[in-house]
Structure 1
């Protein structure tokens, strides 16, 4: 079957005296039937090229599914007199939400069965669930398109009735005031999908009369609302990449006026938590690059009233806190590894939970009960399944509440090994790489290796366990996570040195990690594969323009590849809020720098690796036309005979399929693509 060829329709894009020609710009016409026909032809081509792997894909799907406990139940948590539980039933794709009053032996009360709710839809996602303070009502949100535009409704938990109130085009997050009748939520801009207005709705009133509470007019900011863990305050947050601002209101007075906590300042990022007459503030104030913890009285009106509790430390990134009545828990990161620090408010205790591993992931779990002495946290590693652990802050005793089951009887963690190695980037900086592979394989350069990274927004990819990944490891693959600049694995500076005019460090780090893995004989050019999604897809596009010869194959999921055009179009969702990450190309200096690495703009006549590119027609984060245009241009210019495939999910968006197991079919397709290139079919 011949590869599809998109029509060329010349469009000139001019700015700063520079003209770019985009022959595939027309593919952004979502309602154009020629566009849909082209995407379908690419899907048919992908299916035909991989037809010989269809049985293998099904086997991979069943194999991955067989490791997952179908009739699974979450660890219960208690909130306001009820135990809340999420469970899955065998043969069903979606979660079921239930609760029990006071004790786990009480009769089960059904909140939501998403399997029933999803039946009329090809895509379904239950967003937020917010229970009223008196436990009688549940506000909930749903998305049935996969554009992250949620509709809010209310269920009367006494009768099971869904009230007539329905509010569309929200973020899906809902917050109750303490009066049990006032709901606060965030609406999205219809065009850009920016979260820009906070509204309140009183039960019984017409939803057309919802009242605007706050309007974020700066289009580089998003806004949201939540309630403090102490339940005393409603909090409105406005945030951009480099700046935040909060407003507060007593939750007993939902009709009052929100008060500004600390006005926004360029480069001032902060977050707040309420406790015992004070607000505790994580911030980068006064050049605290890795953030510090301060406190201020409730009446404080500016940064001048903030007093340091945990000062800034150059080598330690302060990521998060959890406040209890008697204890403060601090989530820190040092040398790339998570650490949980316990401090008693009375000053008598200050220590770290012990974690003895070279590379692992720990995190603060769900701890909604302010008065509890139990800290719930999670732990896993590349070789250790996830555990949910309750730690008694008073007795210092730990209880593993749940360890992830890996079904099938074949998995034994002692059969795998993980390590962390350090590659030297071209500018002399040491870049960590987390690796996992099956014990006993010879590191002689013949192993297939899948190298993954993200490298943007300060988002850290921690080395976590995956049952799905076992399908590669058991077939001889090594899996590598390159902790490249642009994330925050090694602190805030690690992020700052991988954005704006330092963005190319992200790409160079990934390439230099690839070269190091080859030099150290973990793999070779003939067996090295790379994978990235979204901004990680931009990474894939950049590295194959720079060093295509290093890779046998590429997986690019929902890739952000047309950087310049997207960042110049402020009608596209997320664009204006991204200026502090990528730069504003309306500024000529940023335009030229972006253009120098934008994957779509730098496709050339040369050989490229084998590639599988995936996207979703309804993606609100990275619009489908970016990968579609990129593939069309690659088809036109590439000089090799390597495989190039585009697969578009015509029903979903950025997160892929909504069903619990449907998403495994997408992964089975990706894995079959990789294993096919290696000639592995068992």
Structure 2
């Protein structure tokens, strides 16, 4: 019987793939390759739940892999035949290659030397460079990943790097294409030679980074039990360890972990992360990190460079709602959300802290959120932002606050303190991150040459506004709308609703050519700051969390209705886009109100919440979404799971998902199950399809060209389905 089923299934795939290359016209879209189906029945608290595509979770099954390949072929054939898709890709590539190179991550050491990644116009991946100081003309190539382990015939990427305190050496995390798990190598700045042994079992780009020891003799990093991202223990019992450069790679000293620090309340899913700054002297800080917005945090004092038996003492608890912090002499300066959703900057004693009643230096301001701060030359500098359209920098000293002037009007400002100087990284919707340096005498910022400035005339007319939308329960939801000046409100604009709404995270001002091209083609991007995100602080996060999660997609639906009512767009011109955990918002919006959207696009979308805790990253995600082992949280997970809310005989929007087979955060089977069921039940003639990249993880370590190609195809699909006249098949 099983043989007959598989024979018929393989035959159907062959027929579908043959049809793909013969028809992709406006009115004739071939049917997708339907997935093999082996239903499973689960029972939770007396309620039976059918999972018809549980078998797709077995990514070792060749039949399942063949179905993934067929889905990818199906999607790409249709996408490759959309008019102007290739032209859009070339347009992005042209804009991206406007300069001979682009600068990525930057680190400036205490003595002013600069380390940075740089991608040349015709290069696929970035390389690591070094300058003796920011204005130096000469740059030195330190590391080219294309020359790393060439015998492996595998493409490697730089996923993270950290120079030591004086810049004499740099630790570099190198990952295989599509992987997050990395190896750490050490390069001597003077001659570019590798020193020490290569470390494995780590992911500094994703979990905690690298901290150099005060004397540059070694590093602190996070060590994983396994490098197999499919292993259920992959994200469990991670340990912070010390490695000395003079030692063998397998010799390290555990200083912060569940198994090592049995007296501390550390769970297997917690990420024990170390933070250290040389100016803190002998104090070192350890936090229990993960998806939680705030962290239980401990402090220890290093005595005689002995790390073997650090005496960790509780500094603050998660419920104290401490975010960014810094040790200044005998005080702790910190951002607090305790009774302050828009945040305040406080000060307390380091050795006898009081986080409930600290000294408040900068009080909370409604609708204006404190972004970050730096303490420099006896002054406290901090930045604020308002829903992605306005950001400012202030200096506080002796009870007085003075605004620092900026030559542009950024939507987001991040502050850095390098080599005794304050840098401000300013971003607008139509200009990438620009580095400025403080001129304290003039109380203003001037351009820094850390990164070259690039002009984008095609985006010069982009503007933004914030509107306030009444949601289903009368809560007011802010929404940022980005578009070209002179926009006509005629209900015909292709409009992308870009939503997230999890982990207390919200989209702030960003600049990506790949997104701004949507606007330059005549579209609108609307970002609803839904509950579950952090636009209005932790209470806003908790209002879209576990049992209150429905507010997340209901806020998005209300914002969509607002855009339609105000004639920004109409249902036939509206696209909803979700990335990662934004898949919950996307999936439940289109299953609850499929009539509101012409199309849906998901990138590595998290959909199947009922199976979340059984994924590799599941134990940590229980903190955010819940567990099926708890009756109320089970009901919440079922409610937020779009896979279980797909109904039969319903016209759903055109849907395009993408996934990576190396994804260690949202496994490929998660969005695949949603696509499989949607393809089975959908009664509309609109396409439902999935792009599959077999050598990629969770949106990491992919080349710019590959990313540009994928985004061009997604936007061409979006424009096609939302009625943009230039993207319609003839």
Instruction: Calculate the TM-score normalised by the size of structure 1.
Output: 0.90
Q: How does 1:380-529 map to 2 (within 5 A)?
A: 380-401=427-448, 404-406=453-455, 411=458, 413=460, 415-529=461-575
Distance apart, 1:538 and its partner CA: 1.5
Q: Find the partner of 2:243 among 198, 201, 217.
A: 201
Query: C-alpha displacement at 1:520, in angstroms?
Result: 0.8
> Partners of 1:566 and 1:339 in 2: how far apart?
36
User: Which of residues 74, 86, 90 is equivalent to 1:45?
Assistant: 74
Change (3 A) 1:252 1:391: farther
CA contact (8 A) 1:421 1:434 kept: yes
SS of the aligned residue for 2:513 comes to coil
Cα distance 1:180–1:32, how it changes in 2: closer, same or farther (>3 A)?
Answer: same
Taking the aligned partners of 2:411 and 2:356, their CA distance within structure 1 comes to 35
The answer for the alignment partner of 2:654 in structure 1 is: 610
Aligned length: 668
- Residue 313 (structure 1) aligns with: 364
Alpha carbons of structure 1 residues 176 and 440: separation in structure 2 relative to 1, 3 Å:
closer
1:279-678 residue pairs with structure 2 within 5 A?
279-285=332-338, 287-298=339-350, 300=351, 303=354, 307-310=358-361, 313=364, 315=366, 317-333=369-385, 339-345=391-397, 347=398, 349-353=400-404, 361-369=411-419, 371-372=420-421, 375-401=422-448, 404-406=453-455, 411=458, 413=460, 415-567=461-613, 569=614, 572-605=615-648, 606-655=650-699, 658-677=702-721, 678=723
Choose from 286, 292, 296 the match for 1:236. 286
2:183 maps to 1:183:
no
**For the residues of structure 1 that align with 2:544 and 2:254, how far apart are their CA atoms?**
38
Task: Give the corresponding residue for 1:36.
Answer: 65
Give the structure-2-normalised TM-score.
0.85
Distance 1:134 1:251, change over 3 A: farther
**168 and 204 in structure 1: CA distance in 2 versus 1, 3 angstrom threshold:** same
1:65 aligned partner: 93
Change (3 A) 1:338 1:308: farther
Cα distance, 1:518 vs structure 2: 0.7
- How far is 1:562 from its partner? 0.5
Post-superposition CA distance 1:12-53 (Å, at most 9, x none): 223322222212112122222112111101011112223323
CA contact (8 A) 1:245 1:270 kept: no
Shift of 1:543: 0.5
Q: Report the alpha carbon displacement of residue 488 of structure 1 after superposing the two structures with TM.
A: 1.7
Counterpart contact for 2:80–2:86, Cα < 8 Å: no
Q: CA deviation at 1:612?
A: 0.3
- The secondary structure found in structure 2 opposite 1:12 is strand
Q: Is the 8 A contact 1:262 1:302 kept in 2?
A: no
- Could you tell me how far apart the structure 1 residues matched to 2:517 and 2:370 are? 36
Partner in structure 1 of residue 132 of structure 2:
101
Aligned position for 1:260: 312
Q: Distance in 2 between matches of 1:182 and 1:293?
A: 34
Q: Using a 3 Å threshold, how does the CA distance of structure 1 residues 145 and 63 change in structure 2: closer, same or farther? A: closer
Give, in whole Å, the separation in 2 of the partners of 1:463 and 1:28.
Answer: 36
CA separation in 1, counterparts of 2:51 and 2:501? Answer: 27
Instruction: Return the alpha-carbon distance in structure 2 between the equivalents of residues 21 and 618 of structure 1.
Output: 27
Query: Cα–Cα, structure 1 residues 327 and 289, in superposed 2: closer, same or farther, change >3 Å?
Result: same
Question: 1:608 aligns to what SS in structure 2?
Answer: coil
Partner SS for 1:92: coil
> Alpha-carbon deviations, 1:656-678, whole Å to 9, x = none?
56112221011011012112222
CA distance in structure 2 between the partners assigned to 1:146 and 1:192 by the alignment: 17
Q: Are the equivalent residues in 1 in contact too, given 2:321–2:336 (CA < 8 A)?
A: yes
C-alpha contact 2:177 2:701 (8 A) present in aligned 1: no
Asked if structure 2 preserves the Cα contact closer than 8 Å seen for 1:123 and 1:146, the reply is no
Q: Which residue of 2 aligns with 1:92?
A: 123
The answer (yes or no) to whether the contact 2:175–2:701 under 8 Å persists in 1 is no
1:166 aligns with 2:198: yes
Between 542-551 and 57-66, the greater mean CA deviation after superposition: 57-66
CA RMSD of aligned residues (A): 2.9
1:489 shift after superposition = 1.8
Tell me whether 314-323 or 599-608 shows the greater mean CA deviation.
314-323
Describe the superposition over 1:517-565 as per-residue Cα deviations: whole angstroms up to 9, x where unpaired. 1111111111111111111112111001100011111111111111012
Who is 2:275 aligned against? Answer: 226
Name which of structure 1's ranges 594-603 and 262-271 shifts more when overlaid on structure 2: 262-271
Any idea what SS the aligned residue of 2:250 has?
Answer: helix
**2:261 maps to what in 1?**
none
For residue 492 of structure 1, report the CA deviation from its aligned partner: 3.0
Structure 1 residues 85 and 562 mapped into 2: Cα distance closer, same or farther (>3 Å)? closer
Q: Distance in 2 between matches of 1:6 and 1:237?
A: 44
- Distance in 2 between residues matched to 1:470 and 1:280, nearest whole Å: 37
Q: Following TM superposition, by how much is the alpha carbon of 1:144 offset from its aligned partner in structure 2, in angstroms?
A: 0.8
Superposed CA deviations along residues 326-351 of structure 1, whole A, max 9, x for unmatched, are 32122334577664453355x17412
389 and 489 in structure 1: CA distance in 2 versus 1, 3 angstrom threshold: same
Between 1:175-184 and 1:159-168, the stretch displaced more is: 159-168
For 1:384-424, what per-residue CA distance to the aligned partner results, in whole angstroms no more than 9, with x for missing partners? 554322222343132123674245xx5261x3443222222
Separation in structure 2 between the aligned mates of residue 511 and residue 636 of structure 1, nearest angstrom: 25
CA shift in 2, pair 1:112/1:60, >3 Å: same
For residues 277-328 of structure 1, what are the alpha-carbon distances to aligned partners after superposition, in whole Å with 9 as ceiling and x for unaligned? Answer: 332233345x455444333444x15547974242653625444221223321
Aligned-residue offset at 1:178: 1.6
Q: Is the 8 A contact 1:70 1:88 kept in 2?
A: no
Aligned partners of 1:317 and 1:492 also within 8 Å:
no
Q: Distance in 2 between matches of 1:377 and 1:133?
A: 21
User: Quick check: 1:79 aligned with 2:129?
Assistant: no
Cα distance change, pair 252–390 in 1 and its aligned pair in 2 (3 A): farther
Counterpart Cα distance in 2 of 1:447 and 1:459: 28
1:130 to 162, 165, 182: 162
Change over 3 Å in CA distance of 1:204–1:360 after alignment to 2: closer
Distance 2:86 2:453 in 1: 24
Find the residue that maps to 2:120 and give its secondary structure. coil
Structure 1, unpaired ranges of 5+: none
Q: Aligned partners of 1:101 and 1:252: how far apart in 2?
A: 32
Residue 672 of structure 1 aligns to a residue whose secondary structure is helix
Asked whether the 8 Å contact 1:656–1:663 carries over to 2, the reply is no
Three-state SS of the structure 2 residue aligned to 1:612 is strand
Using the TM superposition, give the Cα deviation of residue 609 of structure 1 relative to its aligned residue in structure 2, in angstroms.
Answer: 0.5
SS of equivalent to 1:200? strand
1:279 alignment partner, SS class = strand
Query: For the structure 1 residues 208 and 163, does the alpha-carbon distance in structure 2 shift closer, same or farther, using more than 3 Å as the test?
Result: same
Unaligned ranges ≥5, structure 2: 1-18, 20-30, 227-232, 259-265
CA positional deviation for 1:63: 0.5
Q: 2:256 aligns with which of 211, 214, 217?
A: 214
Cα distance in 1 for partners of 2:42, 2:564 equals 41
